[in-house]
Structure 1
Amino acid sequence: MKKLSMIAAMLSLLVSTGSQAMGPFEVYEQALRNDPVFLGALKERDAGQENRAIGRAGLLPRISYNYNQGRNDSKATYLNERGNLHEDRHYTSSGSTLMLQQPLIDYEAYANYRKGVAQALFADETFRGKSQELLVRVLTYYTQALFAQDQIEIAQASKKAYEEQFQQNEQLFRQGEGTRTDILEAESRFELATAEEIEARNEQDAALRELGALIGVPSVAVSELAPLAQAFQSFPLEPANFDTWHALALANNPILASQRQALEVARYEVERNRAGHLPKLNAYASVRKSESDSGNTYNQRYDTNTIGLEVNVPLFAGGGVSASVRQASANLEQAEYELDGKTRETLIELRRQFSACLSGVSKLRAYQKALNSAEALVVSTKQSILGGERVNLDALNAEQQLYSTRRDLAQARYDYLMAWTKLHYYAGTLRETDLARVDEAFVRR
């Protein structure tokens, strides 16, 4: 079955990419059906939902039926004035009981029910967080693969330029116009670019395999991914002030919401244990039929209908209840500290991504201008070398600056996309529509 599902996933991938490359949203749609982490989270939520029904069961009536039948061999002894008389009895005994019980006052059952509700809500919020996390993971691996491809292409272009420079320096050296240092400098830059290309290929392979794991195939080819549009600049930041994002995160962040539900679980666990000191009151009704169920009822049948109340008052349990309350109270305080810690951590990350979005727009403009300047610098440097005003090392430095600027611009564009996405993630407002908006920034070939 696993092989069939993998084949089906690969066929669907081929069909979807036959006409055009995949964007992040197409990857996300396939990940919804194939990502084991997300599918596991779905089952985790389903299991957590049952806690509500489990807790409610303690407040509802309980009906039980018991039946027994046995073969008895006994010896009865009677005392009278003539001495002891013995009678051997061989008989069958039976009994059946139908019992209905309804809790009337049971604080433990009530606390357990409220705990189950909190556990179900915790499962919901945890799943919501992992659903949004899937959006982030898809875009993370997608942009990592594309950025690695940019690095590979930049490294290949720089290698070509350094190789040409190396050949030119060798020719000048043979003509007595160049130096050995120029040759070594060009060779060093070429080898450095080769190492950068190897590293980028390794990073790309890892990112593509992560994407493949999301959609249920061994790996994805980078040619199947839609590249980021060269004209992409930025998205409008709405809302534009951090205070609103701060309020959104406190109200909607699924991690914080799940931690608050975990706090409720711990609080009702304290109440459930404290109920061990409280009495319980149950109403019950039973229908019992018995025949020879004891020596005193030999050869007798009884049909008994009973209705009544049952009170259970705990007096002493060896100190176990008090210890359980103290333990649950400590766990409650731990949950409070964890909520405070998660809140601070989330708000710090929220602020970091908000600042990255604001500064990212300026960085993109600055890097674009720097790229234009670097391209012009390469041209002017080569012309200056022909005029004798510059040397070959200046050309190598200009080429190095050009390729570094290209790499930094590519990195800044992907960083901006991730910051914009993570800002919505930490605010708890990340939706499929947001990924669809990001998807529009990628062009289909």
Structure 2
Amino acid sequence: MRRHFLTAVLLASVAAPVSAESLNEAIALAYSNNPAVAAARARVRQADEGVPIAASGARPTLGLSGSFNQSLSDSFADLGQIWTGGLTLNQAIWEGGRVRAGVSGAQARIVASRLSLAAQEQALITDTVTAYADVLRTQEIVKLNQNQVRVLEQELRASRDRFEVGDVTRTDVAQSEARLAASQANLIAARGNAVYARQAYQRLVGRAPGQLEPLPPLPPLPESEAQAQSRAADLNPSLGAAKASEKAAGEDVRAAKAGRLPSVGVQASANYTEYSNNRIGSSGFDPRIGITAGMPLFSGGLIAAQVRQAQARQSEAMENISLAERQVTEGVANSWALLETAEATIQAAKSQTSANTLAAEGVRQENMVGSRDILDVLNAEQELLNSRVQLVQAERDRYVAAYQLLESVGAADIALEGAGVARYDPVTNAERVRGKGWSEFGYDPDPATDRARNTAPLMGPQQ
């Protein structure tokens, strides 16, 4: 039952799309509309709003107030009804550096969010390349196992025919039957792996893979591991994001310490009061202007706790830099080792496949004249299959390791060149937000109806 189910799923997924797809098209689709990257783009826009939020502390505020009171007393001094209305303007002059630190911290968070987005985009490209290569790999392994089943079916028929004439024993037939059953089980497993690979591709790209073109040539890679480590130290976006986050945390410490300092501001107001009983109160305007100043003397430990909390966040950010440095170093070293291993394996697997092809043919011929038994033939066929599968796996590993290396050095996005998709530019939104800094009602459209804001437009036939 499981075999029939996996076969049906695989055949249905293969039959649906008809046009050949390239790796560039897959990357363009993933980059354009992958939900994880779209969410990261929305986080960058969140960070963009941090600057006007922080800067608002140095801008004037204007407020309107009003009230109505009805006296319930019957005395001569009853004021009756009282209407009041007022307009108040406040402007901070000095906040102890809190606003400046807040703006600097917000700007650093914008840098961190953009670099985090770049890291996620590069990881998406690497994951898409991996999924694309896995689909090709699993499809090829399915073909190899299908061919192996056909070959072993022929071997089993030949063994049974030879058994009928007494040329081989019942043991030889049983060995052929067992090897065929094992090959059929391997084919079922290979088909299952192909289904899993296609589902991973669909999760990343947004649609099931059609007929995929072969992998294109790799982009230029670093010439040595040392060169790759040097580039990664300077260009890895995750490491850059960690450093920017530490800078933002340092500004948070300065902003928290500013809470201990005095603040100075200007306040202007114009109030109007209307009394219904003019015998007691006099209606009219009361304009005022003055300077306000304040300084906390005792906050119940609040300010000190806020400073310590900010310092702890900065300490965490510093440790995250060290963690990112180690992860980058490890990533480059692992990718380089995998790349070298895969290249060596490819050469060995090619030689092994060539030799096993000759050996399998020779063993079959020798078996026909009686100098080799059935088990020798079965083993030779299995060794040939193993070497072919190993070659397919090594070629996939080399390609994936190359993109993992490019991701570590911050260059996986080279795959976007010629991919038919416009790069998402986070600066555009930051400039738009800067233009709305003084706007009190500059809302964005409802996110439920404006999800295109998180995507990158396609420019090719993959639309």
Please tell me the TM-score bracket, short chain as reference.
0.7 to 0.9
1:409 deviates by 0.2
Do the aligned residues in 1 keep the contact of 2:93 with 2:264 (CA within 8 Å)?
Answer: yes
- Correspondence 1:171-190 to 2 at 5 A: 171-190=161-180
Matched, 1:265 2:248: yes
Instruction: Give the whole-Å Cα distance in 2 for the aligned partners of 1:89 and 1:318.
Output: 42
For residue 253 of structure 1, what is the aligned residue in structure 2? 236
1:343 aligns with 2:325: yes
CA distance in 2, matches of 1:225, 1:28: 13
Query: Structure 1 residues 237 and 301, CA, compared in 2 at 3 Å: closer, same or farther?
Result: closer
1:329-368 mapped onto 2 (5 Å cutoff): 329-368=311-350
The 1:297–1:317 alpha-carbon spacing in structure 2 relative to 1, beyond 3 Å, is farther
1:242 aligned partner, one-letter code: E
Q: TM-score by structure 1 length?
A: 0.83
Of 294-303 and 239-248, more deviation after overlay is shown by: 294-303
* Structure 1: segments with no counterpart, 5+ residues: 1-16, 78-85, 438-445
Q: Partners in 1 of 2:218 and 2:388 — Cα distance?
A: 21
TM-superposition CA deviations, 1:72-113 (whole Å, max 9, x none): 326597xxxxxxxx4333133313123131332432222221
- Secondary structure of 1:388's partner? coil
Superposed CA deviations along residues 342-401 of structure 1, whole A, max 9, x for unmatched, are 221221111111122233333222211111111111111112223332221111111101
Give the number of the structure with larger relative contact order, counting CA–CA contacts within 8 Å between residues 6 or more apart. Answer: 2
Q: Residues 114-153 of structure 1 correspond to what in structure 2 (within 5 A)?
A: 114-153=104-143
| 1:364-443 → structure 2 map (5 Å cutoff) | 364-433=346-415
**1:27: which partner in 2?**
26
Counterpart CA distance in 2 for 1:63 and 1:436 is 50
Separation (CA, whole Å) in 2 of partners of 1:297 and 1:332? 61
Structure whose alpha-carbon radius of gyration is higher: 1
Query: Which 10-residue stretch deviates more, 323-332 or 123-132?
Result: 323-332
Give matches, 1:242-321, under 5 Å. 242-282=225-265, 284-292=266-274, 298-306=281-289, 308-321=290-303
How many angstroms apart in 2 are the aligned matches of 1:373 and 1:227? Answer: 26
Cα distance in 2 for residues equivalent to 1:336 and 1:88: 67
Q: What is the percentage of aligned positions where both structures have the same residue? A: 22
Bigger mean CA offset, 401-410 vs 143-152: 143-152
Once the two structures are TM-superposed, the CA of residue 58 in structure 1 deviates from its matched residue by 2.1
Deviation at 1:249, TM superposition (A): 0.8
Scaled by the length of structure 2, the TM-score of the pair is: 0.80
Residue 177 of structure 1 aligns with an amino acid whose one-letter code is D
Task: Name which of structure 1's ranges 311-320 and 406-415 shifts more when overlaid on structure 2.
Answer: 311-320
Alignment length, in residue pairs? 403
Alpha-carbon offset, residue 70 of structure 1: 1.3
Conserved in 1, the CA contact under 8 Å of 2:60 and 2:90? yes
Partner of 2:98: 108
* Aligned mates of 2:68, 2:142 — CA distance in 1: 84
Unaligned runs of 5+ in 2: 1-16, 420-463
Alpha-carbon separation, structure 1, partners of 2:364 and 2:281: 118
Task: Compute the RMSD of aligned alpha carbons.
Answer: 2.6
Query: Is the 1:126–1:255 Cα contact (8 Å) retained in structure 2?
Result: yes
8 Å contact kept, 2:79–2:275: no
